[in-house]
């Protein structure tokens, strides 16, 4: 389900946007338009959608247009051309009061600077958006306490912002946004002011919250590592245009051009690439109803010392090795010979996680789904090939 749909969105800064729009339609560059007309192209024909429950990260350097984009999406600035649809509603058609209502009901905002009121205690800072909505005091405190609990600061409601660390203050900013129970979180460089360790903690906190709450999140950053870590998809912008949009793995494995290639050249691929990029099919497995003799013969034909055992629905049961089978040939089946201590990984686990597991496990590493069904296997050679 689409929550946000951006269609041909263009923003021209200046007194004569029509002239710039005409030149833009003819394929004239941003610099040429400025030199010819004095108009600044902030955004040029931006198109994307954000699905319900998705984290879309917009990444770019200063001047790339990312902050202009988020301000057009909540209509803090008016776009020059195109559409922004929120749940199918074109926000450019809304009058002032309807726009205010949309912002209050749909959007939660988290900014780079915490923007907390120093004279208010924490509970009143979190409750501010609900207070603006004229919600009853008891109810807004109840909702604010729930939001504080979500970010792990339920014991700090009477404190003042000055008593909190930078990371804690940013959690309060996040709690304030969550308290209004928005459909959409707009996060503009939300963690940029934090030191690296706290920033990493906040990224993990956001991902943990998202796993529970499934909000629709548009996250703006200039940090590629941050974008690749938290985004389901990433938009890379340059000069007001989208250079590439895709899942983190797509961007790392298939950069669209030299500009993107330069961006990703120092990225630690082991943190970004997942088991999906290294997984291969499982050609040979055993059934718990097979006899030791049949399994041994199959293993010998395929030069295997260990084999995965699965049920008829492909649920992984464990492994058996040739040594165990050879000393238990009097068994009718291998069901009692299965070693259930085999490690597993999921298709979304990073190669870094897989490398750690494979360092302690000599066999093929099974990749399973939530139902513990076998999807494929990964071995050290697959990982090395994926990282090349």
Task: For 293-312, write each residue's pLDDT tens digit.
Answer: 999 999 999 888 999 999 99
CA 382 – CA 354 distance, rounded (Å): 11
pLDDT at 95 (0 to 100):
93
Beta bridge partners of 188: 111, 220
Q: Judge whether residue 167 has pLDDT over 90.
A: no
CA 242 – CA 7 distance, rounded (Å): 13
Q: pTM for the complete prediction? A: 0.81
What does the pLDDT average to over 69-87?
Answer: 94
DSSP H or E segment with residue 135: none
Pick from 238-242, 327-331, 376-380: least confident: 327-331
Q: Judge whether residue 36 has pLDDT over 70.
A: yes
In the structure encoding, which two tokens stand for residue 6, read together? Answer: 């951006």
Instruction: Based on DSSP, count helices (H) and strands (E) in the chain, helices before strands.
Output: 17, 14
Mean pLDDT of the chain: 90
Residue range 276-387 in CATH 3.40.50.2300:
no
Burial of 86 (0-12, 13-18, 19+ CB in 10 A): buried
pLDDT at 114 (0 to 100):
65
Higher pLDDT, 157 or 237: 237
Which tens digits make up the pLDDT trace of 10-22?
999 998 889 889 9
pLDDT at 361 (0 to 100):
86
User: In degrees, to the nearest 5, what angle opens at C-alpha 361 toward C-alphas 355 and 366?
Assistant: 80
Which tens digits make up the pLDDT trace of 90-104?
999 999 999 988 888
């Amino acid at each position: 389900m689409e929550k946000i749909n951006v269609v041909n969105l263009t923003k021209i800064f200046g007194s004569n946007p029509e002239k710039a729009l005409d030149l833009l339609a003819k394929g004239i560059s941003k610099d040429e338009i400025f030199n010819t007309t004095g108009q600044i192209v902030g955004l040029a024909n931006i198109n994307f959608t954000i699905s319900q429950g998705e984290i879309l990260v917009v990444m770019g350097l200063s001047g790339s247009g990312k902050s202009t984009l988020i301000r057009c999406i909540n209509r803090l600035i008016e776009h020059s051309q195109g559409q922004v649809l929120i749940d199918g509603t074109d926000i450019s058609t809304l009058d002032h009061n309807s726009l205010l209502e949309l912002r209050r009901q749909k959007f939660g905002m988290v900014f780079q600077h915490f923007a907390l009121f120093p004279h208010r205690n924490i509970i009143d800072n979190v409750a501010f958006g609900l207070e603006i909505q004229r919600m009853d005091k008891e109810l807004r405190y109840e909702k604010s306490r729930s939001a504080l609990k979500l970010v792990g600061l339920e014991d700090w409601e009477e404190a003042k912002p000055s008593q909190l660390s930078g990371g804690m203050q940013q959690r309060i900013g996040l709690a304030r946004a969550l308290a209004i129970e928005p459909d959409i979180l707009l996060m503009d460089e939300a963690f940029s002011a934090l030191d690296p360790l706290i920033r990493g903690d906040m990224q993990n906190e956001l991902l943990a919250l998202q796993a529970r709450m499934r909000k629709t999140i548009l996250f703006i950053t200039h940090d590629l590592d941050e974008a690749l870590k938290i985004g389901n998809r990433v938009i890379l912008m340059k000069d007001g245009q989208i250079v590439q949009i895709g899942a983190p793995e797509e961007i790392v494995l298939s950069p669209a051009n030299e500009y993107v290639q330069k961006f990703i050249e120092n990225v630690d691929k082991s943190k970004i690439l997942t088991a999906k990029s290294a997984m291969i099919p499982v050609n040979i497995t055993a059934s718990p109803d097979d006899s030791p003799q049949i399994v041994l013969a199959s293993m010998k034909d395929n030069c295997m010392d260990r084999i995965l055992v699965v049920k008829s629905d492909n649920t992984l049961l464990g492994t058996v090795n040739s040594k165990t089978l050879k000393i238990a040939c009097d068994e009718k089946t291998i069901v009692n010979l299965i070693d259930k201590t085999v490690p597993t990984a999921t298709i979304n686990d990073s190669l870094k996680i897989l490398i750690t597991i494979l360092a302690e496990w000599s066999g093929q590493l099974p990749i399973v789904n939530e139902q513990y069904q076998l999807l494929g296997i990964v071995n050290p050679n697959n990982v090395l090939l994926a990282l090349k």
